[in-house]
Amino acid sequence: MLTFDTSIQFLKGVGEKRAEQLHKLDIYTVQDLLHHFPRQYEDWSKIVPIAEAPHDTPSCIRATALSKPLERNIRKGLSLYTFSVTDSSGVLKITLFNNKYAAAKIEAGKQYLFFGTVSGSYHAPELSSPLIEPAENGDRIRPIYPLTGGITSRYLEKLVGTALSQLDKALDNDPIPAYLRKNYCLCTYRYALENIHFPTDKQAMEVARRRLAFEELLLLQLGLLRLKGRTQATTGTQIKSDYHLDFCKHLPFALTGAQDRAVRECIADMQRKVPMNRLLQGDVGSGKTAVAACVAHSAIRNGYQCVLMAPTEILAQQHFESLSRLFAHEPTIRIGLLTGSLTKKQKDTVLQSAADGSCQLLVGTHALLSETVQFANLGLVITDEQHRFGVRQRSSLADKGNFPHMLVMSATPIPRTLALMVYGDLDVSILDELPPGRTPVQTFAVGTDKRARAYGYVRKFLQEGQQAYVVCPLVEEGETDLVAAEVYAKQLAEGPLAGYSLGLLHGKMKPKDKERIMADFSANRLSVLVSTTVVEVGMDVPNAVLMVIENAERFGLAQLHQLRGRVGRGKLASTCILISDAQNQEAVRRLKVMCETTDGFRIADEDLKLRGPGDFFGKRQHGLPELKVADLFTDMPLLKEAQTAARAVYAADNALALPEHKPLKTAVKTLFERTGEQGLN
């Protein structure tokens, strides 16, 4: 008997070989298949007469074949099959390219449905390579699915139809209880699945989509509430006293209002019995490290140890140096650094100091996750560049203490509503102002015809002893006309930047070589760093005042903003030059936004509008479940409804133990287990 958990291999029409192909689409079970939703639809439901068929959009025509297709061999490897069809309004010429299979099915005098875009003149219309179905298959809206090699959309359509027909009563096992469906005007699970795949009309399709989007958002919010509740159900590290004002007296600068607010929010959290779980979100240069230092100081003065994890060695080194300066007035507080490049003797010394408590603040990379790293009394865990660490990584670091407080920091601005959505298991603090003295980076977009002039501008600053970045999207020369970093570095060294020391940095280099190049640039032993996007995070060189980004249209807005954040880190005026000949409307808009503003939150809003939420987080390194239906940009009102519903359900039954909530509990558990998150039982 077919169930949602049945292996896809055992669905009629699949088998072992097809199952392997379907696995590439993350389809392993029947439920996976039914949740592999169409990416778009073909509307075969509206039949258009031949004489009225538009020449700019696809349409569906019902017509009778006047003859069998005539084959013509144009050249080796290219055969054309032509025939004419007719309806009451006119005659249409059909051409099929290298499609002997489809041509053989056409019979004179038989009626078919043809779907495609008509061309030619209105007096002699033509249709090339249309989709063809027998007329008796019916006029309907047809699904188009995301595909992989060897799998067609029509094949998936057939499989979904088979699964829906065989599941029958299982479709009535609705994850959303009846009272929630009634309160939020949602259709049943059965109706939603049937009409997301085979909608009877566009209204039914939207009703189904709304229900499935609500379900996704509800499950995600419930899962996040349960993750947060799991943390808050424990008694964690509680600090008694707030020392941040004492610490601030010795800082070489005054905190901004946003920094002071964030520090106070963190201290208030840490004085509670439940562990803090807070996201500190701030634009490049907004002063997150100073906030982290203040919070760490209070934890240390209350007798606890702190740890700060960064994604790269260079960034960890910079945090170590910055924190050492900020804690210079506290000689009794020892700060350690743990990275993969330390010698065994150095590592052993650091590990011993963490284990015996003599090191109160340990900074490091992923090396901190090693089982050999132990703490005497860990009270605060800080992770930087949160989007580069998953949920499980920050949890495994927290497991080294007795429910320590958690502060996760991100310099990737995202809209506040989206932050609350994606980091729903965290409270959010936002640094929305820059420290005084920071000069906004001026940004200009120029075509390739201005490249020589742009590098003349760069030379002027290099002559004054300042430094520059040149960013390229590719590493090696390929078939495209994009600028490859290795080739371009050589061209610059022999051409417009001859006479200056250039370094090359890209992701295929060995870690030690990367660290050496970045260290040389930081120490001003290199005037220019030619790099791919590996420079996006971890470089803090105040003397670098220029950035040139080649093929700028190839980067997303958030990435361009992160790259630009490598300059303007000192008191010197800085410039970013975007080189692009792009004519694409979306690319032009991205470059225009970059030139108009340096506000990361405005850029994040624009990025969300341009790219949509499905792609907003790139490879989704934050470790939360992926949304397949919900659109966080257009579905914001639905998100608010789902959050309200989730909070009400959780308040009434946080264990989801009531009979009407058991399907919800199973669905939440399944969703989060796919990300590796355990414990939502």
Amino acid 610: pLDDT? 66
**563 neighbors 486 (Cβ within 8 angstroms):** no
321-325-329-333 Cα dihedral, nearest 10 degrees: -20
The confidence score (pLDDT) of residue 464 equals: 94
622: pLDDT confidence band, cut at 50, 70 and 90?
Answer: very low
What number is the average pLDDT over the span 546-561?
A: 88
- Give the predicted TM-score (pTM) of the model: 0.64
pLDDT value of position 158: 94
**Are the C-beta atoms of 50 and 61 separated by less than 8 Å?**
yes
To the nearest whole number, what is the mean pLDDT of the chain? Answer: 86
130-144 average pLDDT score: 87
**Can you give the residue ranges of every domain in the chain?**
1-41+148-168, 46-139, 174-233, 244-431, 442-613
Q: What is residue 674's predicted lDDT score, i.e. its pLDDT?
A: 64
Instruction: For residue 546, name the pLDDT band (cuts at 50, 70, 90).
Output: very high
351 CB neighbour count, 10 Å cutoff: 19
Q: What count of other Cβ atoms lies within 10 Å of the Cβ of residue 465? A: 9
Give the pLDDT confidence score for residue 429 in this predicted structure: 86
> What confidence score (pLDDT) does residue 665 get?
92
More confident residue, 221 or 351: 351
Helix, strand, coil percentages (3-state) for the chain, rounded to 5, are 40, 20, 40
pLDDT, mean of residues 332-356:
93
User: According to the 3-state scheme, what is the secondary structure of 324-373?
Assistant: HHHCCCCCCCCEEEECCCCCHHHHHHHHHHHHHCCCCEEEECHHHHCCCC
Q: How confident is the model at residue 342 (pLDDT cuts 50, 70, 90)?
A: confident
Interval 381-399 mean pLDDT? 71
What is the pLDDT confidence band of residue 620, given thresholds at 50, 70 and 90? very low
pLDDT(617) > 60: no
The predicted pLDDT at position 479 comes to 42
For 178-240, give the secondary structure using H, E and C: HHHHHHCCCCCHHHHHHHHHCCCCHHHHHHHHHHHHHHHHHHHHHHHHHHHHHHHCCCCCCCC
Confirm whether 46-139 and 442-613 share one CATH topology. no
pLDDT of residue 554: 86
Which of 408, 428, 409 is CA-nearest to residue 418? 428
Listed range (62-71, 186-195, 277-286, 355-364) with the worst mean pLDDT: 277-286
Interatomic CA distance for residues 300 and 360, integer angstroms:
6
**pLDDT, tens digit, for every residue of 632-673?**
667 878 988 998 999 999 999 989 999 999 999 999 888 777
* Statement: residue 676 has pLDDT above 60: no
CATH classification of 442-613 is 3.40.50.300, yes or no?
A: yes
Task: Answer with the residue of higher pLDDT: 427 or 577.
Answer: 577
CB 480 within 8 A of CB 538: no
pLDDT category at 613 given cuts 50, 70, 90 is: very low
What's residue 475's pLDDT? 58
Q: What are the DSSP E strand ranges found in 212-319?
A: 277-282, 305-309
CB 521 within 8 A of CB 540: no
Q: Which residue has the higher pLDDT, 522 or 66?
A: 66
Q: Are strands 111-116 and 131-134 parallel, antiparallel or unpaired?
A: antiparallel
The secondary element (H helix, E strand) that includes residue 666 is: helix 662-673
**Which pLDDT belongs to residue 492?**
92
CA distance 635 to 615: 15
CATH number of 244-431: 3.40.50.300
Tell me how far apart the alpha carbons of residues 98 and 556 are, in angstroms, rounded to a whole number.
Answer: 39
CATH number of the domain located at residue range(s) 46-139 in this protein: 2.40.50.140
pLDDT at residue 602, as a whole number: 79
pLDDT at 259: 94
Q: What is the mean pLDDT of residues 225-251?
A: 78
Say what the pLDDT of residue 132 is. Answer: 92
Residue 75 pLDDT level (bands cut at 50, 70, 90): confident
pLDDT digits (tens, 9 = 90+) for 264-317: 999 999 998 888 888 888 877 788 999 999 999 999 999 999 999 988 787 888
Q: Give residue 476's pLDDT.
A: 56
Tell me what pLDDT residue 189 has: 96
Mean pLDDT, rounded, for 348-355: 96
Q: What whole-number distance in Å separates Cα of residue 521 and Cα of residue 541?
A: 8
Q: Of 149-153, 155-159, 556-560, which has the strongest mean pLDDT?
A: 155-159
Contact, 555 vs 473, CB < 8 A? yes
Residue range 499-528: average pLDDT? 87
